[in-house]
Structures are given as C-alpha cells and as structure tokens.
C-alpha cells in the first residue's frame, strides 16, 4: 500500500508517519519511484505499536525507539526479545543504593519471589527493572510507615500471576513470533490503565459495602 | 512536638514542612509563642500522606491540595469522603465525547459493571473518574485494534475485586475514620507501582515458561 492508504488504515496522519520514518520508529517502505514507497502489513502493525507506546504510554520518542530496537534484535531468542522489549519500557523511580529502607525492601522482594517460586525473578534479581521498581515501591511504603507485610504482598503477587496467565493467553492468539513480541509490549502498556481503573472501581464497591451509612 | 521534632520523626526537612504549611497542605500547628508552634500526631500522619501524593504519586501541589480538601470535608460521610479523596487523584486521559471507539467502550464497561454486579459503578457511571479512565483505556485498545473482549476484561475485574478486599482489610487495621480516609488514599497511590511491577515480574515467569527455548 502507499503512504496515503497506510495513513487511512492506521488513522495516523501522513505527516506523523513521515516523522516516525525519519525518527526510525518505522522501517522504510520498499522504494518504488524516487518519491513513492510501498508499505506492508508489518508497517501497519508497527504503527499501532508506536501509537501505543507514544500516545497511550506517553513515552518519549527515544524510549519508544529503544523498546522497538529490543523487540527487533534478531540475534536474540523470541523469549529474550520479549523480555528485552518489556525491560526497555519506563519503570518509574529506581531504589536508592544507600537507603536502609531499600535494603529491607530488597530482602522482602526476595522472600516474595522465593515464596512464589518465580525462578526468572530470583535469578535476574536487581538486573530486572520490574524488580527494582518493586523494591522502590516497597521502600516508599516502609519509609512512609504504611503497612507492607509479606502476606499482603503475596496476595498481590498471586493475583498478578493469574493475570499474567490471562495476558499470555491473549498474546498466544497471535501467530508469529514478531507479532507476539509486539503484542506483549503493546498489551503490557495498554492494559495498565485498564487494571488500575478496575482496581479503583472495585475499591469503591468494597468500601461502599463496608462503610456506607 | 516542635517543628524540629516533626522534621526528625517524619524525615521531611523543616524547609519543606514550612513550604507545605504555606501551601495549606498541612494545617497550622497550635501557636505557643510568636515564633514557635506545637504539632501533634495528626500532623505527622498528614505529612506522610502529603509525601505519598507528591513524591511517590508525583502529583502537582494543587492536585494534592484538592485530594486533602476532599478527605477533610466534614460535611460528608466517611464513605463519601473516601470516595471524594480517591476521585481527586489523577486518573489519566479522558475519553473523547465524539469518538465512536469511546462509545463502544462505554457500552462494554457498562456490561462489565453489570456482570460484576458493581452497583456503585453502575449508578455513578460517567461521573466516576475511574469509569472514564476505563472507557478511555478500552477505547485505545479498540482504536489500535488490540483484543479487549469482555471475558478478558472480566478476568481483570474479578482480580481487581479480590485485590480491593485485601486492600480494604488493610485500611480497616486503622482505627479512626480520619486515619482510614488517609490510608485509603495513600495505599491507593503507593500500591499502584507494587501491582504494576508484580504484573511485569509475573509476565516474565509466564512467558519464560511458555516461550523459553
């Protein structure tokens, strides 16, 4: 398809597509003449992913490019590419090395990973951005004096485990490894606001049930 | 306690506490002399909440003030104050009125609320910021062509429901209504990164199990 059709089918204005091409967020089309190129279904798919990262995930272009490069690194296995692409997503504040709250939080995260029998998490430890994000989040709870006992964290971890099964089932509805890698990145980003808004709606129900006069 | 002790016990520098007092994020202490005031446990508690909103939740001062004012409005019942304070938290992008994706998403959200038997959500509908956040999130999935069938959303909703029970159990460990209102706001904000990081860790485990070569 030509640029105009790519724009129409994706809903992304041609000027924006040209910008993404210049920024290497989108691979070039197949050059037909000096001024026209031909684009395929993989461009359409990639464009959706770029929109997910930039518009919904509010990522800077440089971060989005890193995610896409990780997703595309053909020297890596499918699973490693999935992991690398998700690792390149923004993860929020990092724990502070010298903070005693972070040291305690780290021990607690290790206990949670062990109790959940999450072997990748245990092996990767601090190398994983999600691990560091969790340490920073628990360190904040500890610093501010809010409860974060291991049993409560395990409730969250178990539910996150069930969610991951449902999420990966969705990813497996895609047929090819490149599609699956793109789906895992897009769905990770796009389902975060779904999950957080459902949690707030559920809290309203539960607190209504308990505290309504 | 004096300002110096409030600073020491909270870990918040005195200059920052003075700033919060000026910005009315913290109620004034009881004036003792022209230059010194006395602060109580409620100041310490409030200071923790302000830190949760501003440092961890990265909220602008004006938003934090709105949340605190809602939490303090004594003309409202406990449950209404909890709800109002959580509503004042930032909720991300709003759905676009004229967007056909948002119209479809709204119908789907109504179905989810009905199937979950969430009566507050059904009654409040669009008035609830969490409802609008969910509509916007599903509209994005729809616009970008990613899957969002009702059954998958119901998996997220059921897990969010279980999480809310555990979260409210934690809130009920606080004894008085003002403490509970502050706890519900702080824990809503502080547990969001816990949940999102655990979801990413769980995805790594699950995709490792399915796709590792």
Q: Per-residue pLDDT for chain B (213 aa), expressed as one digit of tens each?
A: 999 999 999 889 999 999 999 999 999 999 999 888 999 998 998 998 998 899 888 889 999 999 998 888 888 888 888 888 888 888 888 898 889 999 999 999 999 999 999 999 999 999 999 999 999 999 999 988 899 999 999 999 999 999 999 999 999 999 988 889 889 999 999 999 999 999 999 999 999 999 876
Range of the domain at A65: 3-77
Of A130, A199, A213, the CB nearest to B201: A130
> What is d(CA B9, CA B1) in angstroms, rounded to the nearest whole number?
10
Residue at A84 is within a domain: no
Candidates A139, A206, A213, partner chain B, best to mutate (most B CBs within 10 A): A206
Mark whether B135 and B81 lie in a shared domain.
Answer: no
Mark whether A110 and A60 lie in a shared domain.
Answer: no
Residues of A in contact with B165 (CB under 8 A): 206
> What is d(CA B122, CA B130) in angstroms, rounded to the nearest whole number?
12
Rounded to the nearest angstrom, the minimum Cα separation between A92 and chain B is 8
Per the listing, tokens 């809290």 go with A203
> Number of A:B CB contacts under 8 A?
283
Cross-chain Cβ contact A195/B190 below 8 Å: no
Residue at A85 is within a domain: no
Residue at A95 is within a domain: no
Candidates B101, B144, B177, partner chain A, best to mutate (most A CBs within 10 A): B144
The token pair that represents B43 in the structure block? 């100041």
Residues of B in contact with A149 (CB under 8 A): none
> What is d(CA A204, CA B28) in angstroms, rounded to the nearest whole number?
31
> What is d(CA A160, CA A191) in angstroms, rounded to the nearest whole number?
13
Mark whether B17 and B42 lie in a shared domain.
Answer: yes
Rounded to the nearest angstrom, the minimum Cα separation between B121 and chain A is 6
Cross-chain Cβ contact A198/B156 below 8 Å: yes
Residue at B174 is within a domain: yes
Of A155, A168, A213, the CB nearest to B207: A168
Residue at B95 is within a domain: no
Residue at A90 is within a domain: no
Instruction: Return the closest-CA partner of residue A70 out of A161, A207, A184.
Output: A184
Q: How many separate domains does chain A show?
A: 2
Taken in order A87, A88, A90, A95, the sign of the CA dihedral is positive
Residues of A in contact with B153 (CB under 8 A): 194, 198
Of A91, A192, A201, the CB nearest to B130: A201
Residues of B in contact with A130 (CB under 8 A): 197-198, 200-201, 204
Query: Which residues in chain A come in under a pLDDT of 50?
Result: none
Rounded to the nearest angstrom, the minimum Cα separation between A129 and chain B is 9
Give the residue from chain B lying closest to A76, CA to CA: B213
Cross-chain Cβ contact A199/B78 below 8 Å: no
Taken in order B169, A136, A92, A70, the sign of the CA dihedral is negative
Angle at B56 between CA B53 and CA B61, to 5 degrees: 40
Candidates A8, A121, A199, A209, partner chain B, best to mutate (most B CBs within 10 A): A199
Q: What's the ipTM?
A: 0.92
Residue at B107 is within a domain: yes
Instruction: Return the closest-CA partner of residue B182 out of B40, B60, B86.
Output: B86
The token pair that represents B155 in the structure block? 């998996």
What are the Cα distances from residue A4, in Å, to A17, A37, A39, A62?
Answer: 10, 11, 10, 26
> What is d(CA B200, CA A161) in angstroms, rounded to the nearest whole number?
9
Mark whether B120 and B70 lie in a shared domain.
Answer: no
Give the residue from chain B lying closest to A142, CA to CA: B190
Mark whether B136 and B162 lie in a shared domain.
Answer: yes
pLDDT at res. B213 = 66
pLDDT at res. A83 = 87
Mark whether A72 and A104 lie in a shared domain.
Answer: no
Of B86, B156, B183, the CB nearest to A194: B156
Q: Which helix (H) or strand (E) holds A30?
A: strand A30-31
Beta strand spans in chain B (E)? 30-31, 37-38
Rounded to the nearest angstrom, the minimum Cα separation between A77 and chain B is 8
Q: Is B213 exposed, middle or buried (0-12, 13-18, 19+ CB in 10 A)?
A: exposed
Mark whether A68 and A151 lie in a shared domain.
Answer: no
Helix, strand counts (H, E) of chain B: 10, 2
Mark whether A116 and A14 lie in a shared domain.
Answer: no
Instruction: Return the closest-CA partner of residue A198 out of B127, B154, B107, B119.
Output: B154
> What is d(CA B24, CA B46) in angstroms, rounded to the nearest whole number?
11
Rounded to the nearest angstrom, the minimum Cα separation between A160 and chain B is 5
Q: End-to-end distance of chain B based on CA atoms, in angstroms?
A: 61
Cross-chain Cβ contact A194/B121 below 8 Å: no
What are the Cα distances from residue A182, in Å, to A51, B88, B153, B163?
Answer: 12, 34, 20, 29
> What is d(CA A209, CA B117) in angstroms, rounded to the nearest whole number?
12
The token pair that represents A85 in the structure block? 């692409």
Q: Which helix (H) or strand (E) holds A105?
A: helix A100-116
- Whether A95 contacts A66, CB under 8 Å: no
Per the listing, tokens 């440089």 go with A62
């Amino acid at each position: 398809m030509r640029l105009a059709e790519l724009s129409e089918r994706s809903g992304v204005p041609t000027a924006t597509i040209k910008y993404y091409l210049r920024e290497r967020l989108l691979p070039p089309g197949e050059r037909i003449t000096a001024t026209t190129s031909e684009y395929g279904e993989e461009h359409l798919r990639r464009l959706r992913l770029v929109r997910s990262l930039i518009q919904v995930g509010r990522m800077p272009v440089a971060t989005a490019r890193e995610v896409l490069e990780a997703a595309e690194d053909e020297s890596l296995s499918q699973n490693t590419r999935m992991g690398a692409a998700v690792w390149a997503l923004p993860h929020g504040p990092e724990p502070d090395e010298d903070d005693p709250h972070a040291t305690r939080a780290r021990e607690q995260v290790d206990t949670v990973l062990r109790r959940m029998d999450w072997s990748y998490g245990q092996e990767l430890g601090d190398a994983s951005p999600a691990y560091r994000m969790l340490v920073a989040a628990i360190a904040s709870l500890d610093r501010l004096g809010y409860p974060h006992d291991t049993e409560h964290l395990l409730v969250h971890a178990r539910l996150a485990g069930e969610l991951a099964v449902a999420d990966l089932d969705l990813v497996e509805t895609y047929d090819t490894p490149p599609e699956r890698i793109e789906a895992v990145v897009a769905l990770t980003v796009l389902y975060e606001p779904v999950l957080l808004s459902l949690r707030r709606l559920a809290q309203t129900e539960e607190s209504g049930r308990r505290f309504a006069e």
